[in-house]
């Protein structure tokens, strides 16, 4: 039934690429992408916790990897993904209450998500780096 000739030859509805990108649409896609990134990013937290449980030698080994330029790059991306998904999540919770569905608010909340995620990520890293030295 599900794969009869009729359904297989039926045209599919146009996907994302036929639409002009709008800010709320881009934020929606980024919410999913950052969510998926965070999904696999939990491996970083799990590995770090296991390393700490293992002992100083293995902990320093993992810490050196995280502290390398590539490790920092990944962690910076992880921070941004977390902040973006977090702020975007708050936006969704606001929408869940039935508020903020007029176009002006939708666009405002969407811009606040991208700007807020970038600013907070840079701030977190500034605090982290300045706190180091």
Partner 1 sequence: MSTPLKPTPSPTHTEIRTPLGRVRGLGSAKEGADHFWKQRVTAVSTLLLVVPALIIAIGFVGADYATVKKTLQKPAVSILLLMLVLSGVFHMRLGMQVIIEDYVKGEGRKVFWLMANTFFAIAVGLTSIFAVLKISFGG
Chain contacts with partner 1 (rule: CB under 8 A): 2, 32, 35-36, 38-39, 42-43, 45-46, 49-50, 52-53, 56, 59-60, 82, 86, 89-90, 92-93, 96, 124, 127-129, 131-133
- Based on CB atoms, which residue is closest to partner 1, 93 or 103? 93
For the CB of residue 41, give the shortest distance to partner 1 in the complex, in Å.
9
CB 116 within 8 A of CB 83: yes
Q: Which is nearer to partner 1, 78 or 110 (CB)?
A: 78
Shortest spacing between CB 10 and partner 1, in angstroms: 14
For partner 1, the closer of residues 20 and 133 by Cβ is 133
CA 15/CA 87 separation, integer angstroms? 26
Min dist CB 101 to partner 1, Å, is 13
Name the minimum Å distance from CB 124 to partner 1.
Answer: 6
**CA 54, CA 40: separation in Å to the nearest integer?**
22
Residue 56: CA count within 13 A, CB half-sphere: 0
For residues 42 and 68, which CB has a smaller minimum distance to partner 1 in the complex? 42
Is the Cβ–Cβ distance between 93 and 102 less than 8 Å? no
Classify each residue of 18-54 as buried b or exposed e, where b means 16 or more C-beta atoms within 10 Å of its C-beta. Answer: eeeeeebeebbebbeebeebbeebeebeeeeeebeee
């Amino acid at each position: 039934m599900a794969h009869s000739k009729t359904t297989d030859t039926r045209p599919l509805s146009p996907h994302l690429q036929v639409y002009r990108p709008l800010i709320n649409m881009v934020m929606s896609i980024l919410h999913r992408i950052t969510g998926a990134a965070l999904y696999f990013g939990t491996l970083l937290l799990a590995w770090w916790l296991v390393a700490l449980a293992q002992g100083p030698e293995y902990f320093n080994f993992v810490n050196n990897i995280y502290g390398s330029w590539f490790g920092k790059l990944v962690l910076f991306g992880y921070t941004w993904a977390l902040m973006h998904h977090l702020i975007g999540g708050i936006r969704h919770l606001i929408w869940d209450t039935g508020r903020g569905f007029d176009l002006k608010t939708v666009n405002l909340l969407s811009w606040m998500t991208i700007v807020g995620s970038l600013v907070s990520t840079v701030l977190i890293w500034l605090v982290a780096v300045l706190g180091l030295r």
